[in-house]
Structure 1
Amino acid sequence: MLAIIWHSRTGASRAMAAAVAQGAGEQGVLLTAAEAMPAILLGARGYVFVCPENLGSMTGQMKEMFDRCYYPMLGRVEGRPYATAISAGSDGAGALSQMDRILTGWRLKRVADSLIVNLGAQTMEEIRAEKTVSEVDLDACRNLGSAFAEGLDLGIF
């Protein structure tokens, strides 16, 4: 199982996570950050974490998932592969840095460059609005899911 853990407020990360799952096929399991519990995550062979960057940080729901799952999983998932996908209004660097720092503690192994989709939302209206992700960016998410699932199948990760 490839666990695809996501949170979204305005639709972009939801669409990105769905595209990753589509690419992963039968291996991909979508879990909202609220649904992701240690018992489920311990059964996964790999992880893709998908969230927006809010105020220069990962979204609060994703942080809460890490808070809830961190210690129950610590020392039990070392070496498992992971990837990240972030929807952002600018560069996504803050959310990426936070996730990588936490995932380093779990000793997970990054197997793909982070996918950051910059939607350029800068005004209050743009930030609050429901987002649409381009087909090019959704294809990149599908490719991430497909490559990750293939890597798991082949035993590369």
Structure 2
Amino acid sequence: MKRLLIVAHAPSPNTHRLRDAAMRGACHPDIDAVEAVVKAPLEAGPDDVLNCDAILLGTTENLGYMSGALKDFFDRSYYPVLEQKQGLPCALYVRAGHDGTGTRRAVESIVTGLRWRWVQEPLILRGEWQDDFIEQVEELGLYLAAGLEAGVL
């Protein structure tokens, strides 16, 4: 059984909906060999990363940067996982009220340092809330879980 870790900051009802959509996609009934685990960034840590086969990161755009909670997750996890998890398949979604560029760049910088492997372009959910954001994040969770199960990630 492979494990997909979803680390998602969800401070509002809409970001909760995104986190739940990621989990719903990852737990699609056609996927049997992947266990999905969702944690808030302040609850997740190095052991969670060491025990996963892929990671999906979710954050809000906060002043042109990732959420403080996701940054805290990286601060606590970076060195304990650095050597053991190089090549970890990863993806990102950003709920961006503006353009998400700074948030994306900040996460990409840390992921580059960790030597994780992007398996899809970061999903930037820009501007005013749109209900189709939910479907996009659900598809991202499904893509990661299906790729893990098929052994292509």
Shared fold (TM-score greater than 0.5)? yes
Partners of 2:23 and 2:9 in 1: CA distance: 14
- Percent of residue pairs bearing the same amino acid type: 32
Does 23-32 or 51-60 show the bigger shift?
23-32
Please name the residue that 1:30 is paired with: 38
Partners of 1:13 and 1:108 in 2: CA distance: 25
Q: Deviations over 1:79-118 (max 9, x none)?
A: 1100000001111111111111101111111001111111
Q: How many residues align?
A: 145
Provide structure 2 residue ranges, at least 5 long, that are not aligned to the other structure. 28-33
In the superposition, the TM-score normalised over structure 1's length comes to 0.87
Letter in 2 for 1:24: A
Please name the residue that 1:81 is paired with: 89
SS in 1 for 2:61: strand
Partners of 2:77 and 2:14 in 1: CA distance: 24
Provide structure 1 residue ranges, at least 5 long, that are not aligned to the other structure. 121-132
Partners of 1:12 and 1:57 in 2: CA distance: 19
Give runs of ≥4 in structure 1 deviating > 2 Å: 8-14
RMSD: 1.3
Q: 1:135 to 1:27 in 2, by over 3 A?
A: farther
Q: Deviations over 1:5-60 (max 9, x none)?
A: 01132233322121111000063211000111111211000001101011000011
In the superposition, the TM-score normalised over structure 2's length comes to 0.89
